Amino acid sequence: MQQLNAIQVKQLIDASDPAPLLLDVREPNEFAYCHIDGALHIPMGQIVSRLDDIDAEREIVVICHHGMRSFQVAQFLESQGYGRVINLSGGIDAWARDVDPGMPKY
């Protein structure tokens, strides 16, 4: 698994075709408060039951609030055979600080 900071993830999104799958594993209330447009929302507790919703052929950037839950999910995805998994280090908090300062923070 790669660890990329928010600026590196933004550069990856902008440079990739197709863009990586953004997998947001936060709780529904967190996702409703703020998220990156186009992200697939699957709360961490539902990952196992929704693996079929996650395209194993795509590069996947896993997102949470600060990067800890996403790290755990990224490790799990790798253990299930997902080959191109990236953890957004610093999470949505770092994204709001470094990429999208207009995004609400909590």
| Domains, the chain, with CATH or none | 2-98 (3.40.250.10)
Q: What is the pLDDT of residue 23?
A: 99
Per-block mean pLDDT, blocks of 10 residues, the chain (106 long):
98 96 98 98 98 96 98 98 97 98 97
**Phi, psi (deg, nearest 5) at residue 10:** -60, -45
Catalytic residue, chosen from 21, 22, 64, 88, is 64
Q: Would you call 34 a catalytic residue per the annotation?
A: no
Q: Please tell me the pTM assigned to this model.
A: 0.97
What Cα–Cα distance (Å) separates residue 101 from each residue in 6, 14, 67, 94, 95?
12, 18, 18, 10, 8
